[in-house]
Structures are given as structure tokens and as C-alpha cells.
Structure 1
Amino acid sequence: LIPTPAQLSLAKQVSPLFNVHKNEPPTLIMHGLDDKIILPVYSISFRDSMLKAGNRCDLELLPQTRHAFILPNYTATEQIVVNVICKVDMFLTSLGYFNGPPLLRTGKEIAWLPKGSKH
């Protein structure tokens, strides 16, 4: 697919990468290094733009992780999903929304399934 000039213009207008301003809210980006849908370089560029504008932007590049990794039973193991949720927890703690370390852990039962469900 080759986008038309009008499509490229519209994409640039709505893309976060090209619309970074000073005083943006703190941002956490988590990107799988094995993502073939959206390449990690775009998250790196966005983070760099945010930092250049004086904004906080934390970037976690996740090894052996594909696109949509946070969806349970999709592309990531339970351990990867739990680690990501814990990183989100730590980011929110750093902003004062939570206190203490994350408590979510993997166990005998998968953390996101209702008790007694079969997987």
C-alpha cells in the first residue's frame, strides 16, 4: 500500500509523534521489541520528542514481546502480562496514585481468569 499525499497529511495531523507540545501529561509507553505491526522505532521517536519538549515520558522496550502483548492468552505469557501490569503500577505509584510495590504475581491460577474457570 502506498498512501496518497492527502492520507499522509491526515496521518501526520492525527499522529501523536507529530503533535508533541510542552506540558503534556506524564506518559508511559510499553513496546514489544518483536512487534511487527508498529515498529519500536516509532515509540523511541515519540519518547525523544516528549523529552525534548520537557515532558516526562518513560519507555519500556520489552524483549521477546509482540504487538498487543497485554491481551491475555494472545501473544504473551502470563509472566509477561503480569510484569507489564506491575510496571504500570510502578509508573502510577511514581505519580502518587498508588503507594507501595505492586502485589500482582503469577500463581497456580492465571491471574486474570475468574476463580473456577477452565482455560
Structure 2
Amino acid sequence: MKHFCLAILLAASTLHAQTSAPAPKKPKAPDAMDTMDTMAAALKPTRTLVYKKVADRELQMHVFEPEGFKAGDKRGCFLVIHGGGWTGGAPPRMYPFAAHYAKLGLVGISLQYRLHAAKTGVSVFDCVKDARSAMRYVRAHAVELGIDPQQVIVSGGSAGGHLAAATALFDKVNEEGDDPNVSPIPNALVLLFPVIDTSKEGYGQAKIGERWQELSPVHNVRPGLPPTLIFHGTGDTVTPFAGAKAFHEAMLRAGNRCELDINEGGTHGYLMRDKALYDDTMAKTDVFLKSLGLLK
């Protein structure tokens, strides 16, 4: 009987040890590529060119030229700017947008800019300067780029949407040495879930600092701004939808053309993760640009 009881106790002890031991940790799977990454991986620009040098740093444009492109052309241009909170990201992220418009006969450009970092001393103001420098470069070099300087569309997602808007809005933020006689204001804007309000209710105040209002699109709307199309989701908690709605309303009050495409429940970057939503975005953008005579 004693041996029987001892056997039961030993079995119970072994069972407890087996069930209470922590399960081995599984290795973390790498982040899956989303729709935009997958599309971008299959694309390659026609060429890259340097549009600006800052100290020993060269900043590039990744250029997609349309089929049949030749020197002396006067094509429309679709310049697109990647997001990443001004602190991350790279031009390949937006290749699908540039390539889409190259297929439709425009020159597509995906832009590189300096990334904000306290360690390197690059501020969000510097990011804005780069975007405005890029627009001036396109206009000043329109002949060699084969671009019509009065048919330039600027687009961007998230922080890139902010920089796209910055080309039209922030007249006092310019790189020293840029030609002030060359306008950085595009002929149209297409903003994808943009940073549009840099107040505490929006995004970016902590990164910009006490001068945040100087770089807040919704606080700088005025008459005479380019026709603008905005895509934004109501479920966006990164760049809240309320900012896009307020910007849209301010643009209309100022007499500007502005359209707001609302995705009900859409979270930040919604159209970058779903091919059907991306396709819908491009189709609506095509219609918008055709209505302006910027796309045949």
C-alpha cells in the first residue's frame, strides 16, 4: 500500500512539473509584406538623379519615364512622397504610384528627403525644405526632364502627404540658395491619409516643437491653393480624420477646390494594405486629374 501511494505521489509530481513548465518561445516571424511592398518589389525606376546636395548628402529622385518617352517631351509629372512620420521610409514604398502614372503617359517620380532625427540635427522644417526644393528642381529642369512645368501633381501618404501639402502652403520655409523666383506650388495635390493638423489633436506637435503651427496645413489654408483630393479613413487614430475634415471645410470656405474621399472605418494607411482599395484610389485619382486636364 505504501509503495502504491508513493507511486501515485511521484506520478502527480511529474504531471505537475510537465504542466506548469513554460512553453518554449516560438521565434518571431518577420513582418509580412503588405500589398504596397509586394507591388513595389516588382518595379524599377528608369533612372535616379540628384536634385539637391546638403553638405555631403545627396538627395535623389527615382524617375519612372513613360513608354515612348523622348528628349524634348512636355509630359505631365506625378511627384509622390513617402511617409514614415518624417523619421523613416524610403522612395520604393511609393513606386506603385509613380509607375501607375508613367503607364498613363506622365513622368512619375518618387522622392527621397532628409529624415527628421535629433541626432543628425534634421528637423521637420528641413523635410519641408527638401519637398519644396524638389518642386523647384522639377520646374527649373523641366526641359531636360521632359516635363511640362505647369502640369505637375504632388502626392504623398501620411507624413509624405504633409510634405506634399507643404509645397503649396509654407511660403516662408525655403532652403537657403533655392531660387525664390521658381514657384514650388504644384498644379494639383493628392493627399493620402495626410498629417494635416499638427496640433495636440492631430499628429506631429512633439516632433516639430513650439513652432508647430507654422507647419500645420489646416492652420494655413488660404485662397488660391491648388485643387486638392484627399483620401482618409474615419478609423484613423494616427492622423485623425477630424483634421482631414477640418482641412476640407477650410479649403471650401477659402474658395478652393477640394474633394474628400471618405473610407468608413479605414485605419491609417488603409489603402496601402488592400489591392482593391488601392485600385479604387487610383481610379478616383485618375478621374480627378482628368477633370483638371492633367491626365488624358
Q: TM-score, normalised by structure 1?
A: 0.69
Aligned with residue 68 of structure 1, among 269, 273, 287: 269
* Matched residue count: 92
- Deviation, 1:60, is 0.6
1:96 aligns with 2:283: no
Per-residue displacement from partner, 1:23-51 (whole Å, max 9, x unpaired)?
00001111012211011110000011111
Give the structure 2 partner of residue 79 of structure 1.
276
Bigger Cα Rg: 2
Which structure shows the bigger proportion of residues in strand conformation? 2
Residue identity in the other structure for 1:84: T
Give the structure 2 partner of residue 17 of structure 1.
218
Per-residue displacement from partner, 1:51-93 (whole Å, max 9, x unpaired)?
111000100111242212343xxxx321111101111111101
Q: Report the 3-state secondary structure (helix = DSSP H, G, I; strand = E; otherwise coil) of the residue aligned with 1:84.
A: helix
Give the structure 1 partner of residue 109 of structure 2.
none
Once residues 53 and 94 of structure 1 are traced to their aligned partners in structure 2, the CA distance between those partners, rounded to angstroms, is 21
Once residues 86 and 62 of structure 1 are traced to their aligned partners in structure 2, the CA distance between those partners, rounded to angstroms, is 15
For CA contacts below 8 A with separation 6 or more, give which structure has more relative contact order: 1
Percent sequence identity is 32
Per-residue displacement from partner, 1:77-117 (whole Å, max 9, x unpaired)?
21111101111111101111224xxxxxxxxxxxxxxxxxx
Runs of 4+ in 1 over 2 A off after TM superposition: none
Give the structure 1 partner of residue 248 of structure 2.
47
Residue identity in the other structure for 1:49: A
Structure 2: any 5+ residue segments left out of the alignment?
A: 1-199
